[in-house]
Structure 1
């Protein structure tokens, strides 16, 4: 696949790493599967319109357009979810998202003051949550990350990275 085309199909988070500084990925998180429920439902609904073209042939063109619009919307939405990645490295956290225009928001581990994990009822049942990062900066590009699967595990991963980097003191063994 040509390089230019691949950038629209794969989020390529590796190209954002600081290889010469020894940065490596600890966890790469795609959106939780719950974000696909609405687009998949739209695709299923489009099939109803395509079948209705046979049953009601007088308005087949309208039914076909509705079905195609639903399919196009669902395909774009599914691809948007695929291109949205939250990455935890040994040095920072960052999010890459977007299909045509790609957006990169990053926060070094040293700037993370507080992480809140919000899990609505549906998130507790299905295993997803939303991260809210607090930092010393007033204007942040990386504040809320929505629909993170297994948020408790991801939070512990970030806390371990911060601890291993020596950015926080060990409460059990004060220095």
Structure 2
């Protein structure tokens, strides 16, 4: 009887140790979504290529925080060329399933080159900060909407207008 109690005690002690060694799995990656944007515009003597990968972390069903990179190459033959690259941080708010509101802070480096047959080539390199507020209609992982740059500066040759349409896709 003593040996039986000893074996049961040893077995329960071994079983209890295996339960404690199992570590809970992290749900972090279940809350992360990847996506961003891609733009391509090609015409006679004009090219605009943009790539903007992004990742967001869903805090809950209403709020997401994210960050991303972006890069653009824009050129018009014999007129100008521009290389833009930088980073951004974004907060998304979904008050209801179909509506997405956003605030986005962007910091980009702009390298512009202007060509003029009479005056020659002029370079204009600078940093630009954008602060965008936006809203859009959301269908599952795609949002289409419009955003407005609160820090828009007409003299900086980054964007042609303070208001811009967007399409966001996250997987």
Normalised by the size of structure 2, how large is the TM-score? 0.26
What is the TM-score of this pair, normalised by structure 1? 0.26
Q: Is the radius of gyration larger for structure 1 or structure 2?
A: 2
